[in-house]
């Protein structure tokens, strides 16, 4: 029987295709960290603050509903632009059945996105036994078989919304209690041999016309967002899309991830921003929706920690703690991310409130004595990359992407980016034409004031 959390994930099952031919619209939503049952947060004395933080991050991910098999089996998966495999959990996966593993999951609810039973599908076909094995930056991993299956987006295996004979991973062993839909370059699939992934097959089977899609997460308070395969929604961003080249891999080859050049960061208020990077600063950053946080160099992160009066407890509990009250102390403190080294290069602005996240499961009463001057204890969703991974890798995760409208154009190795239009209730969808590059399609009138409409800042600047 599915858990209540799983039932909540599977409720929004009516995933409609756009009325435009060549565009597939999939609503996405965020499972809030507060969904963890507060009466069970501290049941296990073995649970550490770090485990609780991991649970919180996982619950802040963005999910999409798919169905797998014939007849369709509903499953929810994390949407991830930073990987390339679609994989799901088998009904018999260890993480779903082992009580000791389940106790380490958020709220002890088991596999929150649902599982797949190959015995109930007439279209199941095993392709590579034990051929699937993937590990993510945070060291979570899954393994099992590669299989072939029918995957659809609205619960019905009709030709206009189903992908047939799609190669996907079927995990029998996992440290994640939910599957992942990787929508990156096929050159980064986990298989020993590159195969056509979900984006490729959507084009090959005529669902969309080009390997491109756009992503709108909306702001931190919003529960839902939108991904358009093959389309752009001009109602969801301000101004015009700026076009950025996707960078090749570190060996000078073709792109394998959605990495773009970040050329500067600034902090402050509208019209009064101060740079916190040098004039020669330039790093590759990956736009990764599967990462809740933002990972940057220590030279950028440390001044932010000091300026906010935050406490770096990364070595002890894996978190940078910060006063929750900073979100409302001054509602117009923003961070600027500059993508280019010219005076006309685009800058995306992120409100401080988007970077300060609640810490569900943390015993505030227990820890409050150490932070008596704070309203309550939150954590900062920016981290020094070297504390997470052994090799330099910089990621702009959901804490950045919520403030941006991003078009991922695989065919042309380009990114289109603009300031997000928060809380847009209208749709103005434009199809991305095959064989053409993304143009600077106009969105809504520029309105930076909307960026600073919610949130807060410390008493002083960073």
Identified catalytic residue from 108, 288, 398, 409: 288
The candidate with the shortest Cα–Cα distance to 442, out of 201, 199, 242, is: 242
Identified catalytic residue from 80, 218, 332, 409: 80
Phi-psi region of 41 (alpha: psi -120 to 50; beta: other; left: phi over 0): alpha
The yes-or-no answer on residue 288 being catalytic is: yes
Cβ-based neighbour number of residue 280 at 10 Å = 8
d(CA 162, CA 206): 10
How large is the greatest C-alpha to C-alpha distance in the chain, in angstroms?
63
d(CA 155, CA 153): 6
For residues 167-193, b (16+ Cβ closer than 10 Å) or e, as one string?
bbbbbbbbbbbbbbbbbbbbebbbbee
The yes-or-no answer on residue 80 being catalytic is: yes
Q: How many CA atoms lie within 13 A of 53 on its CB side?
A: 19
Q: How many CA atoms lie within 13 A of 462 on its CB side?
A: 27
Distance from the first to the final alpha carbon of the chain: 50
- Sequence-separated (6 or more) residues with CB below 8 Å from residue 32: 59, 60, 223
What single-letter DSSP state applies at residue 435?
T
Complete DSSP assignment for 217-270: ---TT-SEEEEEETEEEGGGEEEEEEEEEPPP-TTS-S--S-EEEE-EEEEEET
Active centre residues (catalytic): 80, 288
């Amino acid at each position: 029987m599915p858990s209540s959390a799983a039932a909540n994930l599977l409720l929004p099952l009516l995933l409609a295709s756009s009325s435009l031919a060549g565009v597939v619209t999939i609503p996405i939503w965020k499972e809030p960290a507060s969904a963890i049952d507060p009466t069970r947060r501290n049941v296990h004395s073995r649970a550490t603050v770090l485990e609780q933080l991991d649970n919180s991050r996982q619950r802040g991910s963005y999910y999409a509903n798919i169905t797998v098999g014939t007849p369709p089996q509903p499953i929810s998966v994390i949407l991830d632009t930073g990987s390339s495999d679609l994989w799901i959990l088998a009904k018999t996966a260890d993480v779903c059945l082992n009580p000791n593993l389940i106790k380490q999951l958020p709220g002890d609810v088991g596999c929150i996105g649902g599982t797949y039973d190959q015995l109930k599908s007439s279209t199941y076909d095993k392709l590579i036994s034990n051929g699937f094995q993937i590990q993510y930056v945070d060291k979570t991993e899954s393994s099992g078989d590669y299989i072939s299956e029918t995957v659809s987006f609205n619960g019905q295996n009709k030709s206009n919304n189903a992908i047939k004979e799609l190669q996907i991973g079927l995990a029998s062993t996992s440290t994640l209690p939910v599957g992942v839909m990787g929508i990156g370059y096929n050159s980064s699939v986990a298989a020993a041999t590159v195969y056509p992934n979900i984006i490729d097959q959507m084009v090959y089977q005529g669902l969309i016309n080009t390997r491109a899609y756009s992503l709108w997460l909306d702001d931190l308070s919003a529960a839902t967002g939108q991904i358009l395969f093959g389309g752009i929604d001009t109602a969801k961003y301000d101004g015009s899309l700026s076009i950025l080249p996707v960078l090749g891999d570190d060996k000078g080859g073709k792109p394998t991830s959605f990495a773009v050049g970040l050329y500067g960061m600034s902090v402050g208020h509208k019209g009064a921003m101060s740079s916190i990077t040098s004039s020669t600063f330039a790093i590759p950053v990956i736009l990764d929706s599967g990462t809740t946080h933002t990972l940057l160099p220590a030279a950028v992160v440390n001044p932010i920690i000091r300026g906010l009066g935050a406490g770096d407890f990364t070595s002890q509990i894996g978190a940078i703690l910060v006063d929750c009250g900073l979100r409302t102390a001054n509602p117009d403190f923003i961070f600027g991310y500059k993508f280019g080294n010219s005076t006309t290069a685009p800058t995306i602005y992120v409100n401080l409130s988007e970077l300060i996240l609640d810490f569900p499961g943390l015993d505030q009463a227990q820890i409050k004595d150490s932070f008596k001057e704070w309203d309550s204890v939150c954590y900062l969703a920016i981290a020094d990359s070297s504390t997470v991974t052994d090799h330099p890798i910089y990621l702009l995760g959901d804490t950045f992407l919520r403030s941006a409208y991003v078009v991922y154009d695989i065919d042309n190795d380009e990114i289109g980016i603009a300031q997000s239009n928060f809380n847009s209730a209208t749709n103005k969808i434009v199809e991305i034409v095959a064989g053409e590059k993304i143009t600077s399609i106009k969105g809504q009138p520029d309105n930076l004031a909307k960026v600073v409409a919610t949130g807060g800042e410390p008493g002083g600047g960073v």
